[in-house]
Structure 1
């Protein structure tokens, strides 16, 4: 009999995570409706051609919110879930099982990938139906979406895992992830054009991956002439890839140095 390896155990754990997630209806509804409702509301308010030529504000926001949805399903949801599981002792019990730690995290990543794909499809559907977003027909644009998706969920998932250790209890878990997420949406050019932000605020936003992920999705989903609306006057996809890759490395280092299986309040 062949013993299961870490990958197969991770896949099995991913199936368990998906079943648990979809059984919690309130969590499912919040996960998928929060970015979608924000896009519908904010997009309707700013859906004007005045500042962007032939491209409406709703179309620009759809591209930016594609990034926001990925950050929500990875950083916010994963970080919150791990903090809650640490607080109620779930992580401690799982650690005592004969399951490699890498398999546990692979299971979490399976959930993040499935939720992120569903979120992205939902946001693009809203953009098409409400704001006349024209999905790209070029294979190169979808290839850009693919590598942005891969780097985005990797970096934000790792940062979510690291951030989960900052919460001292389940009650503070949501605050530790939702607050920085909301602030970053404002200072990263998701809600408003980044040119309208104070220089110091835009400078802080440019340090974090949300700004670059949103810029990358605008490059993939908007016409080429919209690059002139970016601070640098171009899409800078090479720089986007480098920054996101560096955050993947940095997130991994933070995970390895900060993640803990037990609550600090456990005696």
Structure 2
């Protein structure tokens, strides 16, 4: 199964990188947003050397992960269902898990490239300092793993909401943009958001993934700008893990190999 999954991942990556418009949009979106927002919001926070531009970088990392996994993965599966790819694969003499392994590995590769690009922009343009301790890199790693798993499984679970490939973009981009705003991805600092918006964002994994990345890439002196003046890493891990399990159970219950016309 592993070899079949790797073979499927190779196919998925080839398909992705042949679509140059999708490649350019996927990799440029978080970078362009970071450059624009980082150029508009300037200045240094009181009591911390962190600038508003640097504060945006971890949030854009989280937003990029969610875009690549939840939006792209979910929309890609919806398109495969609409054009009959899933139905043909279901009838092929290969385990269904190979398809999901291939999709997940493709999403991980694209996510890794996107993270490198966003961090490069943060370091070169906004003088972001990368973590100097293994502990902070470990924090970034487990936040990435749990966040990718939660958002990816949510994308798989929500793929059935799109009735066609044409509607998939709207189905996934609307909730993504709303949650990105509620999670402080497009706003600095997050504590300045109105309480109802903060409470809505706290219900979903993107808010906690962004907070985990801030804990990894920003110094503790910026904690005064957080909602409760703490990174709450235990809570971040618990919520992301709970969303991962919940999204997996939801995906197992709602996923279908057939489109709406075939049911």
Shared fold by TM > 0.5? yes
Give unmatched runs, 5+ long, in structure 1.
Answer: 1-5
The secondary structure found in structure 2 opposite 1:165 is helix
| Corresponding residue of 1:252 | 248
The secondary structure found in structure 1 opposite 2:240 is helix
2: CA distance, partners of 1:50 / 1:81: 40
2:135 matched to 1:140?
yes
TM-score by length of 1: 0.95
Pairs within 5 Å for 1:118-129: 118-129=113-124
| Corresponding residue of 1:112 | 107
| Corresponding residue of 2:157 | 162
RMSD value over aligned CA atoms?
Answer: 1.1
2:26 matched to 1:37?
no
Q: 1:131 aligns with which of 112, 126, 132?
A: 126
| Corresponding residue of 1:240 | 236
| Corresponding residue of 1:202 | 198
1: CA distance, partners of 2:35 / 2:20: 22
Q: Are the structure 2 counterparts of residues 52 and 118 from structure 1 closer, same or farther at C-alpha, using a change threshold of 3 Å?
A: farther
Deviation beyond 4 Å, 4+ runs, structure 1: none
Deviations 1:211-256 (A, max 9, x none): 0000000000001111221111100001000000000001101101
Number of aligned residue pairs = 262
1: CA distance, partners of 2:112 / 2:132: 19
2: CA distance, partners of 1:51 / 1:20: 48
2:8 matched to 1:13?
yes
Task: Report how far residue 39 of structure 1 moved.
Answer: 0.7
1: CA distance, partners of 2:227 / 2:33: 24
Q: Contact conserved, 1:76 with 1:177, CA < 8 A, in 2?
A: yes
Give unmatched runs, 5+ long, in structure 2.
Answer: none
Task: Report how far residue 64 of structure 1 moved.
Answer: 1.1
